[in-house]
Structures are given as C-alpha cells and as structure tokens.
Structure 1
C-alpha cells in the first residue's frame, strides 16, 4: 500500500507538471519569438525613418551613414531606386527573423536576425522550467513518502492490534494517529477489546463459580445414589431417592441462578418461601458429614419465618456457610434464625478459633482463603445472596458468625 500511495501521488504530480509545463513552454516560446520579432521590427522602422529623412533632405544615403543604426549581429539591406542596394553587417545563414519596410518612392529597408539568439533564450527558459519541474517532483516524492508513512504506519499498527485481538490479547492500546478515519477504527478496536475482555472474564468467572458451587451438591448426590445402590430396603431407597430428587432440584436451581446472574447481575425473581424448611433441609443433609467428623449441627431461634427469595439459592448459600464451618471451624455449628426490622436473618456460628484478623471482611474476596482452597465459596455465596435480594455478612470474627439477611414476606391477616 505504501508503494501504491507514493506511485499515485507521483502520477498526479507528473500529470500536473506535464500539463502546465507544456502549456508554459508553448506560451514562453511564443513570447520569446514575438519579442525577437518586435525588436527586429523596431530596428527596421528606425532604419527606414533614417533613410526616409535623408531622402527628404536630398542627402546621399551611404553605408557609413547607416552603419551606426544597425545593432551588432543583425544584417540590414537598403534598396534605393536607381542605385545598387546597400548592405550593413553579415548576412546570417539558416533560419532568420526578417522584417521589411517599403516607402512610397520605391525605397525598401530589410532587417534580418539569426534565430540563434531566440533559440538560446528558448533553451534557457526550458532549462529553468525543467529545473522547477525537477524540484516539484522531488518535493512531491518527499511529500508522498511522508504521507505514505503517515498512513501506512497507523494501518500497520491497527492490523497488528486486530491480529493481537484475534489471538486472544485483549489489552487496549489507546493509541491515536491524528487521522479521524483511523482514530475511529482504533476506537472500535479498543471498544471490542474491552467488550471481549469483559465477556471472557464473565465466562471464566461463571466456570469457576459453577465448578465450585456444583462440587459439594454433586458429591452429596453421589453419596445418596451409593446408598441407594447398596441397600435392599425399599423404604430406605424411597427416602434416599426423595432426598436425591430434592438435591437435583436445588442443583438445577443453583445452575439457573448462576446463569441468570452471569447474564444480568441485577436479576432477581424471588418469591415467598418457608425459611424453616430450607434450614431444616440443610441440617438433615449435612448431619451425616458432621457426625462423621464427630461434630454436631443444631438449629435454634425463631420459627415460622417466611422470607422473600429463591429457596434453591438460599439453600446453596447456607450449604456454603455450613461447609465452610465444617472445613475451617470446630465444635458444634449452630444455625439461629431471628428477625431484625423487616428482615429475616439466619446466623451460622461455630466454636472454632475464628477468622484471622488479617483476613476480616476480605474473606468474601475471590482467591482469599484461610486454608488451601479456591477461595471462591464465600464470594459466590455473597453473589448468590445479593442476586436474590439479600446480603451475606461476617458479623463476628470470634467465634466466626456469618449472617444471611433476607427480606421478610409480609403477613396477610
């Protein structure tokens, strides 16, 4: 493209120079020739006037008397009636400029000048025009190269940016070139890079959240299915299958909530539900795991509460808190329900050493964990709570107490 820009610019300049140069040569040639003819004619008129004056005064017309009237390099010939012609100077050969003046008595004056002088002036004029044309071509070359560099360098840079964007590098360049059209392309590429980066970040976050949030429910579901596979008791099979179906429904709801939040973080379609039932369900699901660790999980506080939200999302938040207490806490884990204002609150407390002072509220940040874990659990739990219209807080560090705040459903009398 750089070569094409230079060639096109030079082509335009050469055409302009050719058109104006030829026109200028034609005009200058005619001007020089006209000036030379006027000079010769002026001398012929002057010489003829001298001859006319001498004839009128009855003076003898001689060569010596006329020699001073003819410019060096020119040739003059005077024809007088009844006498031989008088010649002044040397008759030029080749092409000449000739002017003749004739009088009423038959006298005739002819002045000639060789075209060599005209040709010399024409040659000098052509050299000047050629020099100006060469300077114009040189300036055009410099201008074309500069303009080509100004255009091709940004285009090359934009092409590299697009190539990096296609290869997965979403860093924005924020580089502009002073050319409105190219700057607009750069704006579009930067906006595309930012949009792709946001999309990739959202996809990676969704994948990480989903893998973390589905791990525990899938493990629990696998254990239920193993229990079903190992037992011959029809009643036990039915009970375990019912629990497994409940877990599958909650799992489906969690996946739907994650997908909904990834599309619209402000989306929330919660309805009224029985909070006691969700808390009781989680205690029943986690009691075997706690029993296996020699620990207990208990429930206390106000009963009969109804909250606004999605049971599956609330169950997943509580499951994260209970699992967190199992992994990082110690002793008995207590779930206590209470009311504050127009909110229903579920607190999860354990008897462990508490949250380290250096972590504090940072436990909700992604990648922050008290032990060797992903650090996603509490962050995702808070996201799920907020997407459901509630909030999750660390209300006490020692002993560790997390509180899930949910809007209460208004009672109808």
Structure 2
C-alpha cells in the first residue's frame, strides 16, 4: 500500500509538472525567437529611410556598416547589386520584390527577414536581415534546465511526502489487521492503539469497542450456560431417585446408565462454562470456545486429536441401534475397512454422528429406515447418513448456518460444519438413494496418516533392495 501511494503520487505529480513544464518551455522558446526577430525587423526598418534618399552603393554601404556589426544585414539594390551579407534564397528575394510584401523565411542556418522598399520610378530594393540559429535559441536551453530541475524537485518532494503519509497509513492498517487476526484466533485481550488518519483511528476505536463487547457477550453466554446446567441438576436428581426405586425392573440398568452419562455431560458443560475466557491465541481448539456439552480436554497432544472414523461411527451406530430396534427402524452400517484417520477428537466426531442420526429420529416417522456409510477417497473420508423419510424440502436453506428448518434448532448441522471445517472438509445435503435426505460430511484425511502407508512401502522396497 505504501508503494502504491508513492507510485500514485509520482504519477500525479509528474502529470502536473509536465502539464506546466511543456507549455512554459514552448513559451520561453517562442519569446526568445520573437525577441531576435524583432531586432532583425528594427535593423531592416532603419535602412528604409536611407534607401528612400539615396541608392548610391557607397552611401548604402556606409549605412549598413553603421547598423550591422556581425554580417547580418544586406541590401539588394534594383540594379542587382548586393551590399552587405547575403543569406536569403533567390526564390524568396524574387517573391518579396515581385509581391512587394514583407517575408520571414527559415533556412538551415537561421531565419531571414525580407523587407521590400519602394523607390522612385516604381523600383524596389529589398533589405535582408538575418538572425542566426544560436540567437533564436539563446537562453532557451538554460531555462529548460532550470525548469526541469524545479520539476524534478517537485516530483521528489511529492513522492517523499506521499511515502511518509503512506507509511503512517500502512502502519495503522497493519496494526489493525494483526489485531483482527489475533482476535479471530481467540486472543480476546488484543487491542489496538488508534493512530493514523482520522478514518483509521476511528476504525481502531471501533475495533476496541467490538472486542470489549465480544468479551462481555461471551462472559454472559458462559454464565447463562453454567446457570442452565445447574438448573438441570434438580430434575436429573429426581430421575435418579425414580430409577433407584425401580430396583431390578426391566430397563432399570439401561436407565441408570443413561442418567449417569447425562450427569457426566452436565459436568463437562459446567466445567467448560467455568473455565476463564481465553486471553491468548487458540492452539487448535480452546476449551473456552468449545461447544457446550463437548469434552474440554482435547489439548493433551496430537495423538489425542486423531481418531479412526470407521471405529467411532461403528460404536455410535451400535448405541443408536437399540433405539432403532424399539421404533422398528432398519438401521444399517456400511463402513470401509481402509484406514480412515482424521485430525479430529473422537468425542467431537461422535457428536457429529449423534447429531446426524438424532436428526433422523427427530424428523422422520417411526419405522423409517436409515443407513450410515463411511467411505474413503484419495484425500477425504466421507460420512453419509441416508434415510427413507420425506427428505428436506430446501437443502440450501438447511445449509445456512444458524437457520432452523422443520422445527429443529439447526445445532446438528452446525456441529457437522465445525467438524468439517476443522479438517478442511465440507457438508452437503441432497436427495439420497433411499428416497429421503442424505447428509454427507467430507472430512480431510490426516496428512501424517496418509503418508504412513507410502513411507512403509518405501521402507519395504529399500529392505528388499538391500537383501
């Protein structure tokens, strides 16, 4: 940006300088030639009275010598004699004598001024006044040099001023850009010092106000989540007591396990909500900004942030198959046997699977079949959930972030979106082969796991060659 401003200043200043310099230079040249021509006309006019009195060669020679000290003045008498210098071309002399009009002719050596003088008996004498080329250009070169130096100084000064102004603007905009990137990465403590032009200073103050407001809103949201989570403990305790009263009745063990799992999820929500807001850049995913209800401890190392998609999906489908059997749903799992490692925590991927399958149970009638597939391509792992329900009327609207469709909160697709973006993948909704909705979540393969088989093959080839 700084170079761009300097370049613009150079271009504008150069155009302004040229727009004044060229006309001024031409004016100086025109004035120098006008001055030399006027002097020549004056010398020629001074001979006219002499010729009107006498055309005797000696008298005319004396008059020419008195007026011309540089061999520039000459007289062409009617009888053909020439007194003084002769520079005019013959055709010019003949024209001046014949037409009896004043002429100014340009020659390679300079400029010739011809003035006819009408004598007695209708005779014509022509006075010739010559101006050398150096007289026509006298002082022009020096004037041009002076004007060029002034123009260059003006351009250099303008570029220097523009560069200083550009540096000030660039520093302010770069500071605002760095602060914006830091805030986007989770550094909630970043602020900028408003500086630069008034517009950028105002943008800096607006950024600081926005950052303060973001911190306030996040704090309020976390307080609300913690409060709601605490309120849920009362009905959860009542459920726990009712489950204990059931004793060894059918389903009591499964109910106790579900209640215990729910208590664990509530503990995770409260723990995440009570964690202080992040004040530094996120190194992966910050606990303070995780989705409520999702595990907070995922920063223990690279291995803890990877999982096999097929294994996680298989476990979650087994969990949901119990409820599917109770509702008369045909639940099928088709998973590849290839490695499907992605750089995503296992609990986060489980939340994606639960959200997609939960949408099937929530938005399709009981008895509606569904299929979960895990496929692998060269660069991605594709998790798809198909159902035989009525489908989604407006897939584009359903793909909009934060938009609820068909009475849902839209949280399930948001969870899938976040997981896909974390692995540089995407989410797509279409009509599936079973006639209902098909939600496809493309997850990028873990780069290190993708290179693993290749490295193993190379090591095997090297071992075979050595043996």
Tell me which interval the TM-score lies in, with the shorter structure as reference length.
0.3 to 0.5
Rg larger in structure: 1
User: TM-score normalised to the size of structure 1?
Assistant: 0.47
